[in-house]
Amino acid sequence: MTSSKRLLAYFYGTVATSLLAAFASSPAAAAPCQGPPGTPAPTQTKCLTAVQIPGHPLRSFDISWVNPDRAEYYLGDRSNAGIDIISTNNLKFQRTIGGFVGIVLNPKTGAVDNNHSGPDGVTSHGRWLYAGDGNSTLKVIDLNAAVNPIQQSISTGGTTRVDEMALTTDGRLLIAANNAEDPPFATLFAANGDDPKSHVTIITKITVDPAIIPPNNGLSIEQPAWDPKTKRFYTSIPTIANNPPGCVFSPVNTCSGGLLVTDPAHPVAVEGAFNPATNTGVIKLTACGPNGATVGPHDNLLLGCTPNNLPGSTTTLVINARTHNTAVVTGITGSDEVWFNKGDDRYYLGASAFRTNGAPTPVLGVVDGTSVLIETIPVSSGSHSVAADSKRNLIFSPQVAPAAVVGVGGDTTTNGAAICGSNNGCVAVFKHDVDDDDDEDHGDH
């Protein structure tokens, strides 16, 4: 960055901080923000504004998604039992599409019961948005419908939430994970593509060989991603058996996870160990218990490794879809949802479980396309969700309200309130100005 750009960054931060103080007393306002105290300065990724969500303060939310062609951001907002929509053009809240379970509490602890709350996973193609709910249903939403937007509610046959999901590029095939079932399973759907009427149907239920995911051990499957080059879905598996040999699940898990490769053109009901002849099955990972998965440049996938799955893990993993060669990203771990933004050639990580010297230090992680950590930006303790608009280079990071306001599950840091300028939680919008660095290749890969 040139000295003149550093000077601009300095004034940008000064002005933004002053404006944040001016807006802090108005919870309904969309306040410019620079982030909480302790944010590295100057960061390349700047907090632009905090979009307030009407209704209940944000105690619990799950996955988020951006459709850059519609210029819309979607958040699975359990606190308000619906999908929040924000315009990525004007960064204003548009509406919440209701009809979901919302927050379900654990009667013994008072904490949010993630396994039965909803909405959860969310993805979209064109006018169609797909969202998982806490009652094991997939909701199919017509974004063009002003009235009764939920066109279908399809049971996957479980008793817990339909969680994270992914679509093929043409929107014709959808895979969704029931992560909290025991054993967990995925469902492959025939989706709507660009059709004007909804006709989503189940193709098959997919489980993993019990020798890899033994039942009755509380194991799960997590975020899938679609790779258009290999024409496969890649789904994170936090923990698999015998990886490495002799590992145990309890009292402290010592088993690394895997990556499930699924061919939607030739699906099988029970996936086994990886078969190079079919390019399907479970790939064993080293020193990674992944939640998130996203496809980046050169057919690489970044996996959101987290010590929540593999205690003691300290790194993030990038794996090539074709060769299975891996690269380790040091200095960042603890991610749930991860997102590759092809507009600025960077990965963004919702690293809410990141720890520094054993202490929780939730951050938004920024990793470049060569798998090098650029920076970490402090966020609220529940900020595990992230999505980016590749056309506008905007990054969306929802923040939970303080625990003093919403109880168990709320922000236990001061970061969220500082970012939001309120105690209600918000969706923070960050921007990486591609002109401010030396990268020249920010296009599609």
CA neighbor of 166 nearest in space, from 125, 195, 207, 216:
125
| pLDDT value, residue 31 | 59
Share of the chain above pLDDT 90, in %: 84
Contact 113, 91 (CB under 8 A): no
Give me the pLDDT at residue 445, please.
34
Quick one: pLDDT at residue 433?
A: 73
Q: Assign 199 a pLDDT band (cuts: 50, 70, 90).
A: very high
Model confidence at 432, pLDDT cuts 50, 70, 90, reads: confident
Average pLDDT over residues 159-176: 98
Q: Are 301 and 234 in contact (CB under 8 A)?
A: yes
Residue 42: enclosing H or E segment and its boundaries?
A: none
pLDDT in tens, 67-92: 999 999 999 999 999 999 999 999 99
- Its sign, for the CA torsion 221, 223, 224, 227, is negative
Burial class (CB in 10 A: 0-12, 13-18, 19+), 412: middle
pLDDT at 27: 34
Say how far apart CA 377 and CA 38 lie, in whole Å: 9
SS3 28: coil
Check residue 36 and give its pLDDT: 72
Among 98, 50, 90, which residue's Cα sits nearest to residue 396? 50
Q: Which residues pair with 45 in a beta bridge?
A: 432
Identity (one letter) of the amino acid at 172?
A: R
Choose the weakest-confidence range: 17-31, 60-74, 133-147, 363-377.
17-31
Local confidence band at 358 (pLDDT 50, 70, 90 cut-offs): confident
Q: Over 50: is that where the pLDDT of 9 sits?
A: no
Angle at 349 between CA 357 and CA 329, to 5 degrees: 65
Sheet holding 232-237, edge to edge: 224-227, 232-237, 258-262, 281-284
What's residue 103's pLDDT? 97
Answer whether 338's CB lies under 8 Å from 292's CB: yes
> Sorting pLDDT into bands at 50, 70 and 90, what band is 7?
very low
Q: Tens digit of pLDDT for each residue in 91-132?
A: 999 999 999 999 999 998 889 999 999 999 999 999 999 999
* Mean pLDDT rounded to a whole number for the chain: 90
Judge whether residue 310 has pLDDT over 90: yes
User: Backbone phi, then psi, for 67, in 5-degree steps?
Assistant: -110, 100
Q: 26-57: per-residue pLDDT in tens?
A: 333 455 676 676 677 678 998 999 999 999 99
Q: Where are the beta strands (DSSP E) in 243-393?
A: 258-262, 270-271, 281-284, 290-295, 300-305, 315-320, 326-330, 338-341, 346-351, 355-356, 359-360, 363-368, 373-378, 387-389
The pLDDT value recorded for residue 436 is: 54
Cα Rg of the chain, angstroms: 20
* pLDDT for position 19: 31
CA 288 to chain centre: 17
